[in-house]
């Protein structure tokens, strides 16, 4: 039995679909009652609970042999996931598959990467078997710019001319499903998950233009402009600052490395940006006139 946390998010929604299609024995630990109901309505076993309440996770771990551990970017990530790892151990769960992040290292200038390094180390030292999935930047992050692309045919990020080996989050889910379905083959390993090419945002804009049949332009923003936009959109300081650190490391060329780990696990190439642009074209297309 697999217990899936984060099953209603970007990776998790696709992961749940894959596990269901493959007939896996799994349940989802879901915190939002309406989302739990929607999953239950499709015949999926759901336990409602919050990672803030480790005893809820411990109860949900009954009979579980693999915990899929995912929580959102948050300064409290290590506290939350540390408690989850402790709850899994108390419940006798032998292994954890955790979503970490590319560049996870304690000396990273990017706070998100430092937080992931801390939690990775905690899991590695927990005595439980583990697999770490370290994806790069998700192509799906561009959906946050979909409104401006759809309305004005442009988007703006403080990425300069950086090339990024972005990954389609559907591939992260596919790798997670493969690992969860044959965990012994992936025990005590870390996978650095990237797309098959590093693209500049200008090149991504060109591919979005091809997919939507209209002009799409990337405009490089200065860190100051982007910081002001993040804060006026209501992002808390820790998130706005963390994103600026991440884009600075893009500009320093630190996210361009392409690995073969998706191919190693799935036996196929990662989805290309072109695939993402085609499959999500409707989200970026101009609003239809009434």
Question: For binding to ligand NAP (CB under 6 A), which residues are involved?
Answer: 5-12, 31-32, 35, 50-52, 70-73, 99, 101-102, 112, 135, 137-138, 141
Name the minimum Å distance from CB 14 to ligand NAP: 9
Name the minimum Å distance from CB 172 to ligand NAP: 8
Name the minimum Å distance from CB 290 to ligand NAP: 32
Residue with smaller CB distance to ligand NAP, 98 or 186:
98
Residue with smaller CB distance to ligand NAP, 152 or 238:
238
Residue with smaller CB distance to ligand NAP, 101 or 195:
101
Query: Long-range contacts: 26-31, Cβ < 8 Å, 24+?
Result: 26/1, 26/2, 26/180, 27/1, 27/2, 27/3, 27/60, 27/64, 28/3, 28/4, 29/3, 29/4, 29/5, 29/56, 29/57, 29/60
Residue with smaller CB distance to ligand NAP, 12 or 227:
12
Query: Long-range contacts: 221-230, Cβ < 8 Å, 24+?
Result: 221/156, 221/157, 221/158, 222/158, 223/158, 223/247, 223/248, 225/156, 225/158, 226/156, 226/157, 226/158, 229/156
Q: Which residue is nearest to ligand NAP (CB)?
A: 9
Name the minimum Å distance from CB 10 to ligand NAP: 4
Name the minimum Å distance from CB 112 to ligand NAP: 6
Residue with smaller CB distance to ligand NAP, 38 or 153:
38
Q: State how beta strands 95-99 and 129-135 pair.
A: parallel
């Amino acid at each position: 039995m697999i217990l899936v946390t984060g099953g209603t998010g970007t990776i998790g929604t696709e992961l749940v679909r894959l596990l269901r299609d493959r007939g896996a024995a799994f349940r989802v630990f879901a915190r939002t009652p309406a989302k739990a109901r929607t999953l239950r309505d499709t015949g999926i076993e759901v336990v409602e609970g919050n990672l803030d309440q480790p005893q809820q996770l411990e109860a949900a771990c009954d009979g579980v042999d693999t915990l899929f551990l995912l929580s959102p970017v948050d300064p409290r990530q290590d506290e939350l996931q540390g408690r989850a790892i402790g709850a899994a151990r108390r419940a006798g769960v032998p292994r954890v598959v955790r979503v970490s992040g590319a560049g996870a290292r304690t000396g990273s200038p990017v706070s998100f990467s430092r937080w992931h390094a801390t939690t990775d180390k905690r899991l590695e030292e927990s005595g439980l078997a583990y697999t770490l999935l370290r994806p790069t930047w998700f192509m799906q992050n561009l959906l946050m710019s979909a409104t401006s692309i759809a309305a004005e045919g442009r988007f703006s990020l403080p990425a300069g001319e950086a090339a990024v080996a972005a990954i389609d989050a559907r591939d992260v889910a596919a790798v997670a499903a493969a690992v969860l379905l044959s965990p012994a083959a992936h025990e005590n390993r870390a996978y650095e998950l990237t797309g098959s090419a590093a693209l500049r945002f200008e090149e991504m804009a060109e591919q979005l233009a091809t997919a939507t049949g209209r002009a799409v332009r990337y405009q490089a923003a200065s860190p100051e402009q982007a910081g002001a936009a993040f804060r006026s959109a209501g992002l808390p300081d820790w998130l706005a600052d963390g994103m600026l650190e991440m884009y600075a490391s893009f500009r320093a060329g630190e996210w361009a490395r392409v690995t073969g780990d998706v191919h190693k696990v799935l036996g196929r190439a990662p989805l290309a940006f072109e695939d993402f642009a085609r499959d999500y074209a409707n989200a970026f297309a101009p609003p239809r006139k009434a």
